[in-house]
Structure 1
Amino acid sequence: MNTVILIPARYASTRYPGKPLVELKGCQGTAKTLIQRSIEAARRVPGVSGVFVTTDDDRIADACAGFGVGVLMTSPECRNGTERCAEAAAQLYEPDLVINFQGDALLTPPGFVTALIDHMDANPNTDVATPAMRQRASEVRVLQAEEAQGRVGGTSVVTANDGRALYFSKKLIPYLPKGALDGELSPVRLHIGIYAYRPSALATYVATPISDLEQLEGLEQLRFLAAGIPVDVVEVDTPPFTLRELNNPEDVEPIEAALAAAGLE
């Protein structure tokens, strides 16, 4: 398949303005911007036709010029990364598969993306797929504490027996009764914010109105579910380090700790 990776990045983040250009230190103390680290992570994925950053901001485009990556400029009217990917994909020559490698996915193991590509290749009728992994009980407790303080630390997903998503939420789901966190791995599956789309699914997405749930949760993937487009959830192995997204300034320190644990410079 002709597979392209798109990295949507916007400067005007509500929770953390300018975060693509925030510097993060690696295991040896070298500071690199978030967008540079995300580009490096995307380039570790084998077998793709190209990696592009898609943005509406000249500051991000100028920064990317130094990394030798293609930049696809999109409208500031794009409301989320999926809409930005849809607009950017239209500038490319007939990709078979579009990977949305979100701009804060710097810790994503390349195997997560390979698992998505393999799933889409083996299931030609699947329009959208995204990965998820079981979360350690200790990490869930950290997220519970952050949730109690009003901070968002991740997105969880629940699925049907066939692996299709039933719901995504910024709250921890499902409900955890007493004893649910007694083991090393919890019942909570952390949604990894990467997507594989057929171009036809992107066209349907941009033609579909925003749903109430998408607005309330602030989760773009809920529009697919509201439109009746199944989203396959591909189970991936939990890595030995903690996966974190850069959503708040408080996330910098744990992300730098994860970069050190992963041995990423």
Structure 2
Amino acid sequence: MRPGPTGWCRSYARPAARRGRLNHLVVIPARAGSSRLPRKPLRLIAGRTLLHRTIAMARAAIGDRDGVALTVATDDAEIADHARAVGCDAVMTDSAIATGSGRALAAALAQPIAPRFVINLQGDSPFQPKGALGSVIAALEAGAHVATPVIALDWPALDALRDHKTRSPFSGTTCARSPDGHAYWFSKAIIPAIRNEDSLRARLPRSPVWRHVGLYGYALDALRRFEACPPTALENLEGLEQLRLLELGIPVMTVPVDPPSFDSSGIDTEADISRVEALIAQHGDPTPSL
């Protein structure tokens, strides 16, 4: 067992929840280091940084909800300064923290009063469905230990995901889930495999594949337990930290949400930036103004 990440250096203006009550802390982890896309949070996408777009999306999703605060958790002063420049609070966290969930926990522990729930809004997925954040908040308040959104793929969307994975095989995650919504498994492969697909296409408007949206909500105790345990072997193989939750026996509730205005998956490579810029040029920019 290893201790949870408590290393943080200093914070900028702390996120003030409305009316002084902090139930939900929404954290955007924004690490400077990225092997595939260096200094990824500051990379421009159609004239706006990835981090700026994620902040704008989060603010629009939070709206006027009571008891919800937003902060960026980073290990880089330039990234923190950029967050402040576009109107978002920032917390400096230890550069040794390797995961977004660890950085989210560090940001939560930096608050004067710990929040009940912590939402890890991945900083490389700025084009999420409008209802995703609200659906995760609702699931947590209904008793979920961990909640995360999923999208039911129709057949054209499944075809597009398959095509995307021929170029970026580790971009985009799918989920197998139970009838009551609890996750069986997550994978960078497309699961489940589909036998007799032509027959299913003729009968059903949607495929049996659910695409995972990079947004996690945790009860604080579940996040502490998760971060107190080392990564598991299958987590390391897939590169998916949520697999640790399942191997620890922590249930993960998946909440269905409608697709975003265009399908973008995560931003992990130069090719992803080019793809999203082409979608923006074709369909318009879905990022709200700050």
Give the CA deviation at 1:241.
2.1
Give unmatched runs, 5+ long, in structure 2: 1-21
Aligned to 2:81: 62
**1:28 maps to what in 2?**
none
Determine what percentage of the aligned residue pairs are the same residue.
36
**1:134 maps to 2:156:** no
Q: How does 1:1-265 map to 2 (within 5 A)?
A: 2-25=23-46, 31-45=47-61, 46=63, 47=65, 49-92=68-111, 93-123=113-143, 126-149=144-167, 151-177=169-195, 178-179=197-198, 180-181=200-201, 185-259=206-280, 261=283, 263-264=285-286
Q: AA paired with 1:147?
A: K
| C-alpha contact (below 8 Å) 1:129/1:197 kept by paired residues | yes
Alpha-carbon distance in structure 2 between the residues aligned to 1:240 and 1:77 = 36
Larger Rg: 2
For the structure 1 residues 81 and 72, does the alpha-carbon distance in structure 2 shift closer, same or farther, using more than 3 Å as the test?
Answer: same
Q: Is the 8 A contact 2:149 2:254 kept in 1?
A: yes
Asked if structure 2 preserves the Cα contact closer than 8 Å seen for 1:138 and 1:184, the reply is no
Q: Is the 8 A contact 1:115 1:234 kept in 2?
A: yes
1:198 & 1:262 partners in 2: Cα distance? Answer: 36
Alpha-carbon offset, residue 76 of structure 1: 1.3
**1:83 Cα offset (Å):** 0.9
CA distance in structure 2 between the partners assigned to 1:56 and 1:185 by the alignment = 41
Describe the SS at the equivalent of 2:150.
strand
Evaluate the alpha carbon distance shift between residue 229 and residue 66 of structure 1 in structure 2; reply closer, same or farther with a 3 A threshold. Answer: same
1:114-162 deviation line (CA, Å, top 9, x unaligned): 0111121122xx2100000112322322332343445323000001222
TM-score by length of 1: 0.90
Q: What amino acid sits opposite 1:193 in the alignment?
A: G
Report runs of 4+ in structure 1 exceeding 6 Å deviation. Answer: none
- Residue 86 of structure 2 aligns with an amino acid whose one-letter code is F
- Give distance in 2, aligned partners of 1:259 and 1:52: 26
Counterpart code for 1:209:
P
Q: How many residues align?
A: 258
- Aligned-residue CA RMSD (Å): 1.9
Q: Give the CA deviation at 1:62.
A: 2.3
Which runs of 5 or more structure 1 residues have no equivalent in the other structure? 26-30
Q: CA deviation at 1:232?
A: 0.5
